Amino acid sequence: MNAQTEHILASQSRPLDRARALLAEMTLAEKIGQMSQVEATHGYAPDYLGDRLRAGQVGSAINNVDVDIVNELQRIAVEESRLGIPLLIGRDVIHGFKTIMPIPLGQAATWNADLVREGARVAALEASKCGVNWTFAPMIDISRDPRWGRIAESLGECVLLTSELGAAMVEGFQGEDLADDGSIAACAKHFAGYGAVESGRDYATTNIPDTKLRNVYFRPFNAAVDAGVSTLMTSFSDLNGVPASGNSYILKDVLRDEWGFEGFVVSDWDSVRQLQIHGLTENDKQSAYEAANAGVDMEMAGDAYSNHLLTLVEEGLVDEETIDKAVLSILTTKFALGLFEKPYTDPASLPEYGNDRALAAARDTALQSVVLLKNDDAALPLRQADLSSIAVIGPLADAGYEQLGTWIFDGDEELSVTPLQALQELVGEDIDLRYVRAMENSRSRANPEFELAAQTASECDAVLMFLGEESILSGEAHSRADIGLPGDQVELVRRVRAAGKPVIAVILAGRPLTLSNVVDEVDAILYAWHPGTMGGPAIADLLFGRESPSGKLPATFPRVVGQIPIYYSQKNGGKPPSKENTVHIDDIDTFAPQTSLGMSAFHLDTCFTPLFPFGHGLSYTQFEYANIRVSAERIRLGDTVMISAELSNRGDVEADEVVQLYTRDLVASITRPVKELKGYRRVRLVPGETQTVSFDIHTDDLSFYGRDGKRRVEAGLFHVWIGGSSDAAQRTEFRIAE
By annotation, the residues acting in catalysis are: 268
| Residue from 30, 268, 297, 488 in contact with ligand BGC (CB under 6 A) | 268
Could you tell me if 26 and 327 are in contact, meaning their C-beta atoms sit under 8 angstroms apart? yes
Report 72-111 residues binding ligand BGC (CB under 6 A). Answer: 92
Q: Does residue number 238 form part of the binding site for ligand BGC (CB under 6 A)? A: no
Could you tell me if 397 and 442 are in contact, meaning their C-beta atoms sit under 8 angstroms apart? no
CB atoms within 10 A of CB 461: 15
Which residue's CB is nearer to ligand BGC, number 69 or number 465? Answer: 69
Integer Cα distance of 556 and 111 in angstroms: 15
Q: Does residue number 398 form part of the binding site for ligand BGC (CB under 6 A)? A: no
Report 589-628 residues binding ligand BGC (CB under 6 A). Answer: none
- Residue from 551, 552, 407, 562 nearest 483 by CA: 562
Q: 540: which residues sit within 8 A by CB, 6+ positions away?
A: 419, 422, 423, 425, 426
CB of 136 to ligand BGC, least distance (A): 3
Tell me the β-bridge partners of 711.
705
Integer Cα distance of 140 and 90 in angstroms: 18
Q: Which residue number is nearest to ligand BGC in terms of Cβ?
A: 136
Q: 605: which residues sit within 8 A by CB, 6+ positions away?
A: 560, 562, 584, 585
CB atoms within 10 A of CB 507: 25
Could you tell me if 110 and 422 are in contact, meaning their C-beta atoms sit under 8 angstroms apart? no
Which residue's CB is nearer to ligand BGC, number 476 or number 521? Answer: 476
Q: Does residue number 136 form part of the binding site for ligand BGC (CB under 6 A)? A: yes
Give start and end residues of each alpha helix (H) in 150-214.
159-174, 210-212
Integer Cα distance of 579 and 570 in angstroms: 18
Q: Does residue number 218 form part of the binding site for ligand BGC (CB under 6 A)? A: no
Could you tell me if 533 and 404 are in contact, meaning their C-beta atoms sit under 8 angstroms apart? yes
Which residue's CB is nearer to ligand BGC, number 136 or number 721? Answer: 136
Which residue's CB is nearer to ligand BGC, number 475 or number 610? Answer: 475
Which residue's CB is nearer to ligand BGC, number 238 or number 657? Answer: 238
Which residue's CB is nearer to ligand BGC, number 187 or number 505? Answer: 187
Report 516-575 residues binding ligand BGC (CB under 6 A). Answer: none
C-alpha 420 chain-centroid distance: 27
Tell me the Ramachandran region of residue 390: left when phi exceeds 0, alpha when psi lies from -120 to 50, beta otherwise: beta
CB of 189 to ligand BGC, least distance (A): 5
Which residue's CB is nearer to ligand BGC, number 236 or number 527? Answer: 236
CB of 139 to ligand BGC, least distance (A): 7
Q: 256: which residues sit within 8 A by CB, 6+ positions away?
A: 295
Integer Cα distance of 730 and 721 in angstroms: 5
Integer Cα distance of 285 and 291 in angstroms: 10
CB of 277 to ligand BGC, least distance (A): 14
CB of 233 to ligand BGC, least distance (A): 6
Q: Does residue number 478 form part of the binding site for ligand BGC (CB under 6 A)? A: no
Sheet containing strand 623-630, strands side by side: 623-630, 640-649, 690-698
Integer Cα distance of 82 and 173 in angstroms: 31
Instruction: List the Cα angle 528/531/532 in 5-degree steps.
Output: 170
CB of 391 to ligand BGC, least distance (A): 40
Which residue's CB is nearer to ligand BGC, number 141 or number 290? Answer: 141
Could you tell me if 74 and 344 are in contact, meaning their C-beta atoms sit under 8 angstroms apart? yes
Q: Does residue number 269 form part of the binding site for ligand BGC (CB under 6 A)? A: yes
Which residue's CB is nearer to ligand BGC, number 232 or number 635? Answer: 232
Q: Does residue number 476 form part of the binding site for ligand BGC (CB under 6 A)? A: yes
- # binding residues, ligand BGC (CB under 6 A): 7
CB of 269 to ligand BGC, least distance (A): 4
Report 175-194 residues binding ligand BGC (CB under 6 A). Answer: 189
- Residue from 404, 416, 393, 366 nearest 467 by CA: 393
CB of 251 to ligand BGC, least distance (A): 17
- Residue from 273, 259, 269, 323 nearest 295 by CA: 323
CB of 635 to ligand BGC, least distance (A): 42
Q: Catalog residues that contact ligand BGC under the rule CB under 6 A.
A: 92, 136, 189, 236, 268-269, 476
